[in-house]
Chain A
Amino acid sequence: MKKSTHNTSIEPSKLARRFLHWYCKASLLEEIEGDINESFYERIEIMGIKKARLFYTLEVISFFRPFAIRGQNLKYHNNTAMLRNYFKVSFRNILTDKLHTSINIIGLTIALICSIVIYMVVRHEITYDTFHTNADRIFRITHDESELNPNSNRHLSTVGPPVGPAIKAFYPQVENSVRFRYTPTQIMARGKERFYEENIFYVDSTIFNVFSYKLALGNPKTALKEPGSVILTHEMALKYFGDENPLNQTIFMNNDTELLVTGVLEPIPSNTHFKFDFLLPFHAFKVPFGYPVTLDDWGWISFHTYVMLSHDIDPKVLEAELPNFIDAHWPNEQRRFKFRLQPLTDIYFGEVKNDIIASGNRVYVYGLAVTGLLIILLAAFNFTNLSTAKSITRAKESGIRKTLGARKPSLFFQFLLEAIVMALFALFLAILVSPYLFKILRNFIGFDFQLDPSRYPALILPFFLITLIIGLMAGSYPALVMSNFNPVSVLKGNFKSSITGLGLRKVLVTLQFTMSLALILGSLIISSQIQFIQNKDLGFNRKETVLLQMPGAELDRHYETLKNQLLSNPDVLAVSVGGGRMDGDNGNVPILPEGFEDPFPMAIDAVRHGFYAALDIPMAAGREFSKQFPSDSAEAVIINQSAARTFGWEDEEAIGKRIRVDDIREGYVIGVTKDYHFSSLHQPIVPLVTTYPRTRLRDIYLKVKIDQPAALISSLQQDWNTIVPDIPFDLIFLDDHLQGLYKADLKFAKLINLFAILAILIACLGIYGLISLIAQHRVKELGIRKVLGASMQSLILTLSKPFLWLMIIALLIAVPVTYSYMDQWLSNFAYRIDFQILHIVLAGLGIFLLIGATLFLQSFKYSRANPINALRNE
Chain B
Amino acid sequence: MEREILLETHEATKHFGGLAAVEKVNMKIYRGEILGLIGPNGAGKTTFVNIITGMLPITSGKVIFKGTDITGWPAYRIGRLGIARTFQIVKPFRGMTVRENVAVGAMFGHKGQTRSPREALEHVDEIIEFVGMSDLRDKHADQLTLPYLKRLELAKALAMDPELLFLDEVMAGLNTKEIEAAMELVRKINARGITILVIEHVMKAIVGVTERVFVLNFGQELAQGKPEEVLNNPAVIKAYLGEKFVQRFFRQQQAA
Do A and B form a real pair? no
Chain B residues with a Cβ under 8 A of chain A: none
